[in-house]
Chain A
Amino acid sequence: MRYLIVLLVVVGPTLTVVGVLSLPRAYVLMATTTSTRDTGLLPYLLPQFTADTGIEVRYIAVGTGQALDAGRRGDVDVVMVHAPTNETQFMAAGHGLCRNILMYNTFVIVGPTGDPAGVHSATSSADAFARIFQNQSRFESRADGSGTYTKERELWMAAGLNGSTFGPWYEKTNQGMGATLTIANERSAYTLSDDGTWYARESSVPYLAVLYNRTEAILRNQYSVIPVNPVAHPGVRSEQAVEFARWLVSARGQSIIGAFQVNGHSIFTPNGVGVC
């Protein structure tokens, strides 16, 4: 049957190449957030881990919800996110093997350079949000279940406000931090951002400026790394994931994190705790 021969000759090689590229991986696969990716930390950090241990780590960058879900499904070996409440739930449900607190950066409030709501002179982060509300200034919310969004809701609550009652000035982007900053820039709106993404994107959002940038406990954006529980998902590369988690909170890993800069700004404060 000539057809079958042609089929094999034409489709065979390409399928073989694709198949070879898809063989079970020898590397650790991590799920992390788009914010983490957008800071540029990972291309700086991961090769150093590989150099030290010979273990390769690759990642997919998705929303926080999806990253944790990837861990839940056993599609990745380790999860690195910055959503403490969701992480606690994740651990309580038995999806994670152990949780290493890793590092933090800070949330900042950015907005139009003219600062119509007077955020710059706010007395606290909650006060800043209250001023935005009073002024009915346009605000971009990520509204996507991410750590940033969770923090944003916390701040509205701290100001005694209920997000579901807001008028049209409160817009939901349903996207990552980078995209949300772009939208805020285009629409001259306020938004809450982590400083890592902000400094990485500062030059591309000329109509925005950092208006509130202070050390408050509530503005801490805490990162953790969680190897996926091998009991629930026997296929995951648990040993290597744990080694990765340990390296990140070791003196070496922590010093590399502290040395990382985005456009001249040291954004991460290492505060690792080695539970794993």
Chain B
Amino acid sequence: MTMSLEVTGITKSFGDRQVLQGIDIRVEPGELFAIVGPSGAGKTTLLRCVNFLLQPGAGAIRYDETVAPPEPAPLIALRRRIGMVAQNPFLFRGTAEYNVSFGLCVRDVAEPELSRRTSEALRAVGMSSLARSRASRLSAGEAQRVAFARAIVVRPDLLLLDEFTANLDPTNVNILEAAVREYNRQTGATIVLVTHNMFQAKRLAHRVALLLDGRIVEVGPVKEFFESPQDPRTLAFVRGEFAY
């Protein structure tokens, strides 16, 4: 299904470097929301705060209008509604099939449902013929497709994509973008896409935000963001005037 995401006043520092300086974002259920900005702006850090890999310095994150529960059982239940695909995929030792079914095993999904959903997910990314291949033998594009299938097979309500097609060739980019669109359409899940590729943001997103120096500079519907941005910095970024 889906989830709303609200981030208020999130800060995060590493040592004396303050990466996030107070982030405020609201993502509506079912939206495909892109966050763009130069490298090092803090985009990955923000995502890692959302899915509990990092602990923010200050601020609050609300999932479906509530903060994360402290008790372990409901916390894991919430965690399992959020998925992520990172830039360089890490696949577990074993076959593509094994990797995709990992999340289902973790959630104690039994046969025959497990196999059915695994093959479905592999098909969605065009990896059915390579299901039995060793993960270590896959090309970068194939591996990323497997990582994507692995993330969506468990039907996350919130899917975080962190530069997930960076370094891939156009064919793989197309396959993955189509898969994202299809997933969003089929399930209505909320998708947050971090990218430095403006064209991708234009192709996929409903709304776009610009993250610059640890702060959100502008948020707007995709058309307005690119054609008539309000902030001069947004304009400069869209024109490619940021050196990064």
Q: Find out whether A and B make contact in their complex, taking CB atoms under 8 A apart as touching.
A: no
